[in-house]
Structure 1
Amino acid sequence: MTKKLILTIFYQFNPWHSSIGGIQTVIRSFIKYAPSEFEVRLVGTGDLASASGVWQEGEVAGRAIQFMPLFPLEDDNVRGLIPTTVKYTTALFGRCLASDFMHFHRIEPSLAALNWSGEKTLFVHNDIAKQMNPATANNGILWQRFSASYFALEGLLVKQFSQIFSCNTESAKFYQQRYPAIANRVAYLKNTVDDEVFYPLDPKQRAQGRKALAQEHNLSEQTRFILFAGRLHPQKDPMLLIRAMATLYIANVHLLIAGDGELKDELRGEISFLGLSNRVTMLGAVGQEKLADLYRVCSVFVLTSVYEGLPLTVLEALACGTPVVTTNCGETPKFLGADSGIVCSERTAVAIADALGKVLHHPENYSASSCVRTAQPYSARTVVSSVYEQMLNRAHQRSA
C-alpha cells in the first residue's frame, strides 16, 4: 500500500463550532476535496472538554481527518486581551509538526515552523497593504499600530514558503514587489464557493421560502430580506450598514445580520438608538447550511467592508442566485457585473442605501441566472482540485 502524503493545515479555529469566516470556509473546502492520496491533518483550537496537544480523529465536510487542538477557545469571533494568534503561535513552539505539505493561513504561526522540513504554503486572505494602513483599515487588526514590526517579522518568515497564494490581485502584486527574490513563488489564487452547498432555488421555491422566513420572524408575507453575513468586526463595518438602513425608506424590507463578534453589543445599541428594532434582526452565529438557506431566499446580500481579499460570502450569495451590494474593496469589483449587483462608488450610508434601493426596486435587472453565472468560475471543486494536482506533481517529482 502506497504511503499517503500528509497535508497539515494550521489555523486557529474549531471546525465543529459555528463560525462564519472566509478562512474557515477555504479550509473546509481543502479538506472536503482532498484526493485519496492525502491524509489531512488540522491543527486548530478546541473547547474545554477536549484534550489539548494530542491528535484526535474527527470528520469535517464528510472527510476523516486528524485534529489537534492546541488550547481551548470559547469564541473565535471575539478578540481577547491577548490576541488569539499570539496564543496559537506560542502553543506551537516546542513541537515538530513537519509534514509533506503544510498550509498556513496566518504568517505568525510559521515562526514556530522555521526549522520544520516539508513544503510550506502561505495563504494571504486580505489586501495586506490596506489592512496594515491605519488610514484605511478601521482598526481591523492590532498589527496596524506596529506595522514596521509586522513587516520585519514577515521579512524573516516569508522566505521559508515554497508558495504564497493570495485571493487578491493587488495583494499578490504587493508581495511580488516587496520580495522580488521570491516573486516567482507568489501567485493569485481564486477564492472558492462550494456549489454542492450553495445553489439557487427555482422562483416558486424561492417565493415560498421567503414567505416561510417572514412567518418565522412574525413579519408580513410581503417582506423582502436584506442579508449581511460575517464577523461583527471593524473590518466588516456593520455599523455603516445599520446607518444605511436608517436612510432606506422602503416598506416591508427587513435586514438579517448573521454573525457574531466584538461589535455585537455596540450594534444592538445603534439599532435601538436609530429606532430600527422592528426592521433589523440579529441572528447570531449561523451554520453553513442555514446560511445557504438564507442566501437562497433573501432579495439582496450586502457587504460594507473597509478592506477585503475576495470575500467568500459574496461568492456564496451569487451562487445561490442572490445579487450583491458591496463597498468598493477587494477583488469583488473586478468580477461583479451590472446584472449581478452594485459596487458603491462611495463608502457612505447614503450610497449603500441607494444601491440597496436600486436592487429592491428593480429585481428584474439582477436575475438569479446572471448571479449564478458570475460565481461559476470560482467552483471549489475545480480550484481546489487544481491546487492538489500541482501538489501531487511536485511530490512525484521529488520522489523520482
Structure 2
Amino acid sequence: MTAFSLEPGQRAWCAELRRLAAERLRPLADKGEPGHVNRPLVAELGALGLLPRLFTSGALDLCLMRESLAYACTEAETALALQGLGAHPVHAHGTPGQKERWLPQVGDGSAVAAFALSEPGAGSDAAALSLTAHPDGPGRWRLTGEKCWISNAPEADLYTVFARTTPGAGARGVTAFLVPAGRPGLTGTGLDMLSPHPIGALGFDGVPVSADDVLGEVDGGFRVAMGTLNLFRPSVGAFAVGMAQAALDATLEHTARREAFGGRLSDLQSVSHQVAEMALRTEAARLMVYAAATAYDAGEGDVPKRAAMAKLLATETAQYVVDHAVQLHGARALQRGHLLEHLYREVRAPRIYEGASEVQRGIIAKELYKELSKNPEADR
C-alpha cells in the first residue's frame, strides 16, 4: 500500500463506516442537544469498537475513520476525535495505573475525555501558557488559572491539562497532568459557540495534583502536547476532507438534476468547471492527508511539516468546497436542517483549532528553514 492508493479492504471498511454512521450514529446524533456531550452517541461509538481502535491503530487508520464518519455524521466524527485527543496523552505517556483506570472507560464510551491546552491569552501560542502549577510540597502542586475553548468542557470526566511548572522557561516549563472531573477547585462553564459540539471554559482555583497525575515527565508537557497534535493534525484534515466530499457529492447530484436557463445546471460551463475545481481540491487534500498519516506511521522525520501541510490544505479546501456548494445550491442551502447549512457551520472551526492556519504556515516555514540549515549545500 502506498500513500496514494488504499487497499480493497480499507476501501470496504470506509464504506462500512459510512453505512454505520448513516444508520446507527446519525439517529443518535439527531437526538443530541447542541452544546452538550451526547453520551448515548459516545457509548455507541464504543459499542461499535471504534473508540478502542483509537489506541491500537496508526495515523492513517485514524484518518480513514474520521473521514468516513464525517461524510455521514459530523457529530459522531467529532465525538470520536475528542475521545482520542483527550485520552491519547494517557495512552502514550500515562502510567500503568492511569491507563488501567481510564482507557477502558474511554474505550467503551462510559468516560468522556478532553484536551485542555488553550487559554484566554494562549490559544495558538501553546508555549505561552499561564495556568500555573504552584508547588505544594514534594511531588504536589496546586493548579491556578483558566483554560478556554476546551472541547467537551465542562462535561468531560477527565482532562489532560497543561500547566506551567517552571516560570520563564517557555515551552520547556510546561507539564501535562491528568485531572479527573470533581477535583476540588475545578469549575467550568459552557460557551455558546458556532460549532454544535460542546466547548467550554475551565477555572482552576488551587486544584490539587500530584506526581501520580503527571503524564510523561515534569516540564516535559510540551512534548506531550506536540506529539498528540502531530498525530491528530492530519486527521483534522481527514475530517475536513469528509465534509468536503459530502458537499461535493451533494453538489453533483443537485446540479445534475436542477433545471435552469433551459437546461440542467451541469450544462453550464461555469457550473461544471466549478464542480471540477471542487473535486480537484478535495482529492489533492485527501492525498496530502494520507501522505502525512503514512509518514507518521513510518516514523519519518518530517512529520511536523507534513502534518501542518495536511491540516492547512485540507481545512482551507473544505471551507472553499462547502462555500461554493452553498453558492451552487442557492437559498435552499441556507435553510436550517439542510446538509450544507450544517456543514457551513461545522467547516469553519477546524481552520482555527489545533493550530490556526497561520500557525500551520509558521510551522511549515520553520521546518523548511531547519531542513535548509542541515543541508551541507545550504551555504553555496
TM-score range with shorter-chain normalisation? under 0.3
Structure 1 length as normaliser, TM-score? 0.26
Greater helix share, structure number: 2
